[in-house]
Amino acid sequence: MSWKTPGVVLLIRWFFSFVVPAVGLFIAVSRIFSFYDPSLPLWAILAFFVGGTPIAFAVRVAWTQRSRRRRAMILGARAVPCVEGKRIGNIDVLTTIMKRSEHDYNGQVMYDYMSILATEFNNYWKGDNFRATAQSVLGTGVFNSDGETWKFHRAVTRPFFNHDKISHFDIFDRHTDKTISLMKERFNLGHAIDFQDVISRFTLDSATEFLFGHCVDTLFAALPCPYNVDKAELPDNSSSERFARAFLEAQHGIAKRLTVGQTWPLLELFGDRTAGPMQIVNEFLEPILKEAIQKHQSSSDADKDVFQDEETLLGHLVHQTTDIILLRDEVLNILLAGRDTTASTLTSAIYLLAMHPHVLTRLREEVLAKIGPSRRPTYDDIRDMKYIRAVLNETLRLFPAVPANVRESINDTTLSSPNPGEKPLFIPAKTTVAYSVLLMHRRPDLWGPDADEFDPDRFLDDRLRKYLIPNPFIFLPFNAGPRICLGQQFAYNEMSFMLIRLLQNFSSITLDLDAQSPECRPPAEWATAGGRKGIEKFRPKATLTLYSVGGMWVKMEEAENA
């Protein structure tokens, strides 16, 4: 095991920031004393050793605060109000945030403690803190870089997403068929299915196929067993799912770090929690990357020069670079960007359709009228289907797959005050600012008094003109500005394709709450809470993406003509 764990690296940094200056000060003072009187009193030596580092820390904090007040005044701004804890270093606030992030309704702790960033994207970047947190998993890929490196990543990947590829629909079709037949098998046994699990397999198998040309075939592994069913009743055809599990574990590692904040390395004093899972991920990827590089290098020069409409992202990327680390970072970042987001949105959509059968009926009518009971949907079909787009948008409004995010300020800047007439809030350079799209999407002042309700018509009727058209920044599931999601169109195609196929095959969806293990069900006290917390039948939580704790257990009724 390497001694250079994240925790040790942080302690070394702190040693040089606080202990070394304190010792330096001690040496300087003792020199001055020795000039007049060679023996420094024992109490002074002890006081320096015991109090030196905390005093150096306190002086640094006081100096920073004074400097911030002065810089805020220059910008005509005021300091952001601070949360005042009861313990030194706000340790009580930190532990409360960690605990509530684990158990409370997603976003609630943010709502109670933090301020919301609205539209000030230009003064911010991802920043060093986020990069340090995610580096061991995402490397320097598009999701985790800024400046020139980010521009490079974005430039090399963008052409791949520029036009819709027929081959993508072939991939969706193959994996959708497999997914639906797995679901039917389970429903025929009379049991529920964890839709979140099965759809995550679908998006992983589809994404690995279109990114690397190698499907990880998670749809062939055994499905999880409902809480209320004996495992022996279900067939077990398990095969290795190491890659999928390891990649998820690595993401959980990043999410944990983000919850703790900048002191996360202290929790990893004895080892990097993402190192083990990332070793498995890298072992899976390395031969695939090497094969793609070799194939490119052995192709004739004439072939290399001709721009080909490659089927896979990797096939496209090796034309730009054969640096194996760059290639790995790129495909892993896009796998993360594209896989869990679509799985999360489809899971939320199925939940909402189960909760609102009249929406399901209307959506099914659109599918049957436009495409019929069995034909494969085309790109043109999907483009013309207004209601399916409204259902997906309304799902993304209430349950945005990336519910919260962070940015770091580049220079000293300000945010307009939430209370009109008050001075703006001062944001010093290099400050991490967290913002929640989920909370913004549910604000009644932005979306109307029924903001908490699921109603796809708000994307079709007068409410569209009243709220969204004049103020498009109130709906940001795909982010906005130069870092807007590259895969937005791909995602709408994939999600619409799957929903259409599901509704061609099934005529109703019900939640099976008994199949969910009791510790994963929403706590009884949520029922009396206001807003969506009081409505929800599942516990929404987030790693980098939103998910349902313990899965989303549903039953579906097969359509007569399926």
One residue of 110, 285, 293, 402 binding ligand HEM per CB under 6 A: 402
Nearer Cβ to ligand HEM (334/509): 334
- Interactions with ligand HEM, residue window 212-251 (CB under 6 A): none
Q: Which is nearer to ligand HEM, 219 or 331 (CB)?
A: 331
Which residue, 136 or 157, is less far from ligand HEM as judged by CB?
157
> Distance between CA 137 and CA 490 in Å, rounded?
24
Which residues make Cβ contacts (< 8 Å) with residue 159, sequence separation at least 6? Answer: 316
Q: Which of 56, 72, 114, 142 binds ligand HEM (CB under 6 A)?
A: 142
CB of 194 to ligand HEM, least distance (A): 20
Which tokens belong to 401? 């797959």
Residue type, 157: T
Tokens of 61: 């904090």
Stretch that binds ligand HEM, among 18-26, 218-226, 400-408, 425-433 (CB under 6 A): 400-408
Min CB(477)–ligand HEM separation in Å? 5
Which residue of this chain has its Cβ atom nearest to ligand HEM in the complex? 487
User: Is residue 288 within the footprint of ligand HEM (CB under 6 A)?
Assistant: no
Nearer to ligand HEM, 62 or 484 (CB): 484
C-beta separation of 512 from 548 below 8 A: no
- Distances 150 to 147, 158, 254 between C-alpha atoms, Å: 5, 12, 20
- Closest to ligand HEM by CB, 405 vs 504, is 405
Q: How far is the CB of 330 from ligand HEM (least distance, A)?
A: 9
b/e per residue 370-379 (b: at least 16 CB within 10 A) = bbeeeebbee
Q: How far is the CB of 437 from ligand HEM (least distance, A)?
A: 7
CB of 191 to ligand HEM, least distance (A): 28
3-state secondary structure of 374: coil
Query: Please, which residues have CB within 8 angstroms of residue 74's CB and are 6 or more apart in sequence?
Result: none
d(CA 316, CA 227): 44
Q: Is 485 annotated as a binding residue?
A: yes
Query: Please, which residue, 10 or 211, has the CB nearer to ligand HEM?
Result: 211
CB 95 within 8 A of CB 414: no
What is the smallest separation between the CB atom of 169 and ligand HEM, expressed in angstroms?
14
x/- contact string, 470-489, with ligand HEM (CB under 6 A)? Answer: -------xxx---x-xxx--
Residues from 157 through 186 that contact ligand HEM (CB under 6 A): 157
Q: Which of 406, 422, 403 is nearest to 414 (CA)?
A: 422
Q: Which pair of structure tokens corresponds to residue 556? A: 């579906």
Q: How far is the CB of 486 from ligand HEM (least distance, A)?
A: 4
Report the residue number, 143 or 169, with the smaller CB distance to ligand HEM.
143
Which amino acid type is present at position 284?
Answer: F
- For the bound state, the minimum distance from the C-beta of residue 544 to ligand HEM, rounded and expressed in Å, comes to 9
Q: Which of 490, 497, 506, 553 binds ligand HEM (CB under 6 A)?
A: 490
Q: What are 465's two structure tokens?
A: 């003109």
Give the residue with the Cβ less far from ligand HEM, 48 or 150: 150
Alpha-carbon distance 477 to 394, whole Å? 10
DSSP type of residue 456: G
Among the listed residues 53, 129, 405, 432, the single contact to ligand HEM using CB under 6 A: 405
Applying CB under 6 A, what is the total number of residues that bind ligand HEM?
22
Contact 316, 210 (CB under 8 A): no
**Residue listed under structure tokens 């933090």:** 114
Residues 300-359 that bind ligand HEM (CB under 6 A): 334, 337-338, 341-342, 345
Name the minimum Å distance from CB 473 to ligand HEM.
13
- Looking at beta carbons only, is 483 or 555 nearer to ligand HEM? 483
- Report the distance separating Cα 394 and Cα 61, nearest Å: 45
Is the CB of 136 or the CB of 345 nearer to ligand HEM?
345
Place of tokens 């679509």: 342
SS3 426: strand
| Least distance from ligand HEM to the Cβ atom of residue 340, Å | 9
Q: Which two tokens stand for residue 114?
A: 């933090």
Of 143, 454, 459, 538, the one binding ligand HEM (CB under 6 A) is: 143
Choose, by CB under 6 A, the member of 491, 509, 515, 546 that binds ligand HEM: 491
Closer of 77 and 485 to ligand HEM (Cβ): 485
Residue 515 backbone dihedrals phi, psi, to 5 degrees = -75, -15
CB 210 within 8 A of CB 313: yes
Q: Tell me the backbone φ, ψ of residue 559, rounded to 5 degrees.
A: -70, 150
CB-nearer residue toward ligand HEM: 227 or 243: 243
Least distance from ligand HEM to the Cβ atom of residue 196, Å:
14
**Token code pair at residue 344:** 């999360």
CB of 94 to ligand HEM, least distance (A): 23
219 neighbors 546 (Cβ within 8 angstroms): no
Alpha-carbon distance 383 to 390, whole Å?
12
> Burial level of 226, CB count in 10 A (0-12/13-18/19+)?
buried
Dist CA 498 CA 26 (whole Å)? 68
Q: Which residues are annotated as a binding site for heme?
A: 485
Binding positions are 485
Question: Which residues of the shown chain bind ligand HEM in the complex (CB under 6 A)?
Answer: 142-143, 154, 157, 334, 337-338, 341-342, 345, 401-402, 405, 477-479, 483, 485-487, 490-491
